[in-house]
Amino acid sequence: MKNSSLKKFIEAVPKSEIHLHIEGTFEPNLMFEIAKRNNIKIKYSSVDEVKEAYRFNNLQEFLDIYYAGANVLITEQDFYDLTWAYLTKASSQNVRHVEIFFDPQTHTERGVSFSTVVNGIYKALEKGEKQLGITFRLIMSYLRHLSEEAAFETLEQSLEYKNWIDGVGLDSSEVGNPPEKFEQVFKASSEKGYKLCAHAGEEGPSEYIWSALKNLKVDRIDHGNRCLDDKELVKYLAKTQIPLTLCPLSNLELKVIQDLKKYPLKNMMSENLLVTINSDDPAYFGGYMNENFFAISEALDLAEIEVATLIKNGFKATWLSEDKKEWWCNQVDEVLKKQPVNT
């Protein structure tokens, strides 16, 4: 990016990441390595060929490739390696707290046990906290293209690992699978002590955001771009400060928006929405946290103070304690104070 002092600030400042699918961090190199050791043939012959295939016109085209990629993950070691690779990358970008999604059904549907998946991921997260100092929360996402009954089975399987899992989410093909389809399983999940969030208003309409809020009773909306279509909803989100976890490069790659210069981030900020920046599926969308910040800052000509607000929002929107949130926001301000003033 052109503004080198802003670039340095983005790199130096501690960040959180709260909208990240661990299966979406599967880099082609690691995919080839794991496929080889599991004796699985993949349909691409080189990393370049894989990257060539990553051109999407919509969410579904991406999901088809993303689920195919996840097919090579079989053993606990595979899930561990996947998670560890993400954490080392996050650490190199000064990401200090993560709240990551995993999709149990993507794996249990093809015969990999829930325990294999969660053990691999959790062990890497624990090591990441000890060795890299990255704190974490773990969120299991229900796949919305499957039935509510299937989600209930996943909830049941998760209970043995309740101490490791902090919340539930809802992802996959949005249009045609509105939040209310999962009302009962979200209610049951909440009763078991899980926190709640859901993808809504990525490709789906603003009504899906209302439904996630009112029927699922989530306390965080993943994406939520389409809220701007509804003035009452914007007012409600501003008043409640329910966070939106935005993912600029994802939205660009999935053609949710056509041009980052038209990304309505400044409108959202001026409406006092608690918006955060995240990478979603960085191995597929061309960038981790810093690249998302570089791209959106450049496209919208953001000032350091605006970037700092977004980063503090990222901590405020976490499931950390209020004390911890405040501590991290102060850390962000400390780094900001050390920056040369932009004229």
In the annotation, is 23 catalytic?
A: no
Site for Zn ion contains 78 (CB under 5 A): no
Per the CB < 8 A criterion, the answer to whether 289 and 279 are in contact is: yes
The span from the CA of 292 to the CA of 278, in Å, is 7
Q: Nearer Cβ to Zn ion, position 6 or 310?
A: 310
Determine which residue in the list 76, 280, 291, 304 makes contact with ligand ADE, applying CB under 6 A. 280
> In Å, how far are 221, 231, 264, 339 from 207, measured between CA atoms?
13, 12, 19, 42
Sheet holding 221-223, edge to edge: 198-200, 221-223, 244-246, 275-277
Measured from the Cβ of residue 26, the count of other Cβ atoms closer than 10 Å reads: 25
Binding residues for ligand ADE, how many (CB under 6 A)?
11
User: What phi, psi does 14 have (nearest 5°)?
Assistant: -70, 140
Catalytic option among 174, 202, 203, 291: 202
Q: Residue 316 Cβ, how far from Zn ion at the closest point, in Å?
A: 20
Site for Zn ion contains 17 (CB under 5 A): no
Binding residues for Zn ion, how many (CB under 5 A)?
1
Q: Residue 287 Cβ, how far from Zn ion at the closest point, in Å?
A: 14
Q: Nearer Cβ to ligand ADE, position 15 or 199?
A: 199
The amino acid at 332:
V
Which residues from 247-266 bind ligand ADE, rule CB under 6 A?
250
Which residues from 2-41 bind ligand ADE, rule CB under 6 A?
21, 24
Measure the CA dihedral 186/268/55/90, to 10°.
-70
Q: Nearer Cβ to ligand ADE, position 281 or 304?
A: 281
Binding residues for ligand ADE (CB under 6 A): 21, 24, 59, 66, 171-172, 199, 202, 250, 280-281
